[in-house]
């Protein structure tokens, strides 16, 4: 039987690179589903994958993780299409309206924290968040809550007797404890919504293992490293393209000193592919699995213990359950003809 793999945010960057590598690893043994917000870009990604793997089975699913109704509708479609899911890669994410602190950058450039600054963006990046039509903070909804709701809605195909399924979250080295607060899980009052959402991702993965392992569902977190993707380019939108080209030798030089500079989506997807090959029950729920690239260009995966606690993860899980209940009621009132909602 083919393994069914669903990847969110699969039309570019890490997600698309992962899909390419998965098909290269086992074309005939996979049934791949690309879950994307933009249908045209998803179609282009599917065409590219089929061009290099003509025998592959690649489906498309339209889904916007920032929209509760879109997630519920997409989940209903998944349950109609597939009897089970073996892997769910929770990769979709945004960093909207990033603001770059040039003064902090140049101060850090000549300090002992220069490499850490490059690798994580700590101290030099802030974002202006938005609000979705559902009334949720945009980054929180896209990066975390939409995925949480998807998992909850897909329980029938993820949790089946006699089978194991795996959740793989794309987190970040920018997941900082200082950016997250249980009193403000959506980060309405802060300036680091991306960092907050990624730290919440780390917490949620731990709690999901606590609640779902007995049902055969396991959750892991990865960090792709510093990768040049559309999200990265958006950090400095005023930079001309040639300047990024000029910076690349600097990034390659930095790689000699830190293996977190994976730079390409292919390299950044290393840990995601590595987890595909592992038995999920053998993995450490407190570890974040990092994609790393050596100075010689060799890719490998290494676990690092996350800065999280079980108590905080359980508190976040409880708050998300309450928010889920509230949002389901809201959608039921505004979309009476929509998908049937779990209570």
Positions marked catalytic: 194
Q: From 118, 92, 89, 93, select the one nearest 106 (Cα to Cα).
A: 118
Whole-angstrom distance, CA of residue 86 vs CA of residue 71? 19
């Amino acid at each position: 039987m083919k393994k069914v793999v669903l990847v969110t945010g699969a039309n570019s960057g890490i997600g698309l690179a992962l899909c390419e590598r998965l098909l290269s690893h086992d074309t005939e043994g996979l049934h791949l589903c690309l879950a994307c917000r933009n249908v045209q870009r998803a179609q282009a990604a599917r065409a590219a994958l089929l061009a290099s793997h003509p025998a592959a089975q690649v489906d498309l699913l339209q889904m916007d993780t920032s929209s509760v109704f879109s997630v519920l509708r997409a989940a209903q479609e998944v349950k109609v299409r597939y009897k089970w899911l073996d892997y769910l890669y929770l990769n979709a994410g945004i960093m909207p309206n990033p603001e770059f602190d040039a003064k902090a950058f140049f101060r850090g450039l000549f300090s002992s924290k220069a490499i850490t600054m490059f690798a994580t963006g700590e101290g030099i990046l802030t974002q202006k968040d938005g609000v979705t039509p559902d009334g949720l903070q945009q980054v929180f909804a896209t990066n975390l809550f939409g995925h949480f709701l998807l998992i909850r809605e897909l329980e029938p195909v993820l949790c089946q007797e006699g089978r194991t399924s795996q959740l793989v979250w794309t987190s970040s080295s920018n997941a900082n404890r200082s950016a997250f607060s249980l009193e403000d899980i959506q980060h309405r009052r802060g300036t680091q919504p991306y960092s907050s959402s990624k730290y919440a991702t780390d917490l949620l993965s731990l709690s999901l293992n606590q609640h779902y392992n007995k049902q055969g569902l396991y959750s892991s977190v990865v960090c792709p490293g510093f990768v040049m993707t559309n999200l990265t380019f958006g950090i400095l939108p005023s930079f001309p393209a040639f300047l990024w080209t000029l910076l690349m030798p600097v990034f390659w030089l930095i790689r000699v000193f830190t293996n977190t500079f994976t730079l390409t989506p292919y390299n950044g997807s290393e840990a995601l592919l590595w987890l595909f090959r592992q038995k999920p029950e053998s993995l450490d729920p407190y570890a974040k699995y990092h994609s790393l690239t050596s100075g010689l260009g060799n890719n490998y995966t290494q676990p690092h213990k996350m800065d999280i606690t079980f108590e905080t993860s359980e508190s976040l899980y409880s708050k998300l359950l309450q928010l889920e209940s509230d949002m389901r009621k809201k959608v039921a009132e505004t979309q009476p003809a929509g998908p049937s909602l779990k209570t």
